[in-house]
Amino acid sequence: MGDATVLRKGVAGADAGVHLALPRAGEKDAIEASLVAKRGTNALMDVCRDATLHAFVHASGALGVYRHDPGEWIDETAPEEPTTPSTHDRWTMDRVVRAAHDEWGLPVTILRPPIVYGVGSAFREFFLDLMRRRLFRVIGDGSYVIDLVHVEDAAAAYRLALERPAAGETFLVVDDEPVTMRTFADFLAGAFGRRRPGSAPAFLARLVAGHDAVDILQESVRLRNAKLKSRLGWAPRYPTYRDGIPGVVRRYLESRPA
């Protein structure tokens, strides 16, 4: 990410770009991941200045960014106020790409998904693997609200943002139904044929997943997707977790060694 020569070769001849190389909550070496992402984002902006791109999509995140009351419904107009070190770093990178748009016209669209669920990545590590091994625990009483989007619906949003550029705009990429952590965990356990998982205090969860990941998970907010639907024509194939989780669990179990 920090090698301008490599980046320049990647951008050369491209008419669109997607920046996905960003740290996630729960990184094992969060400081190093953040430094690499910051250097890489700045280097990428320098390279893109000399390119001719019709669209550029920047992957960000919806959680831990907006100021809100517990359980409040919000959209992209909510005040931005990062709540953890990792979300502040991500927000800083959002500002870098926004500045590129404002100062020299990078046609950037920022997409902000919350928890993306699918067979891979962090959802596999922190949800699927732990549930399969009967180690999953709900943090606290689980009454806080979480927001989700199926990985295929998230990918569709990226495709639309490339096909229908909305330069300078930010979109929340989230399904239609926020859900409490307890309700979601019970449903996920049912898809595995497991009993409802027990609970664990937040301080223990932080030892496993890190402070940022746990604090972000518990922030409790309801995100609206009206702008993404109206501006880009996005229509989720999996409008709620109930539509998407059974298939994800089935594919996950099928991918396991016999």
Give me the number of domains the chain comprises. 1
Put the strands of the sheet holding 55-59 in their side by side order.
16-19, 55-59, 108-112, 170-172
Q: Could you tell me if residue 192 is inside a domain?
A: yes
Is residue 147 left, alpha or beta, with left meaning phi > 0 and alpha meaning psi from -120 to 50? beta
Q: Could you tell me if residue 197 is inside a domain?
A: yes
Are 60 and 97 a contacting pair, CB within 8 Å? no
Q: Could you tell me if residue 231 is inside a domain?
A: yes
Q: Could you tell me if residue 129 is inside a domain?
A: yes
Q: Could you tell me if residue 232 is inside a domain?
A: yes
Strand pairing of 148-150 and 115-117? parallel
Quick one: which of 192, 58, 180, 85 has its CA closest to 132?
A: 192
Task: Provide the total of helices (H) and of strands (E) in the chain, helices listed first.
Answer: 11, 12
DSSP string computed for 110-167: EEE-SEEESSSHHHIIIIIHHHHTT---EETTS-SEE-EEEHHHHHHHHHHHHHS--T
Q: Could you tell me if residue 258 is inside a domain?
A: no
Q: Could you tell me if residue 26 is inside a domain?
A: yes
Q: What range defines the domain where residue 157 resides?
A: 4-251
Residue 47 tokens, joined:
């390279």
Q: Could you tell me if residue 256 is inside a domain?
A: no
CATH no. for residue 25?
A: 3.40.50.720
Instruction: List per-residue pLDDT tens for the chain, 258 residues long.
Output: 667 788 888 888 899 999 998 766 555 666 666 777 788 899 999 999 988 999 999 999 999 999 999 999 999 999 999 999 889 989 999 999 999 999 999 999 999 999 999 998 889 999 999 999 999 999 999 999 999 999 999 999 999 999 998 999 999 999 999 999 999 999 999 999 999 999 999 999 999 888 888 999 999 999 999 999 999 999 999 999 999 999 999 999 999 876
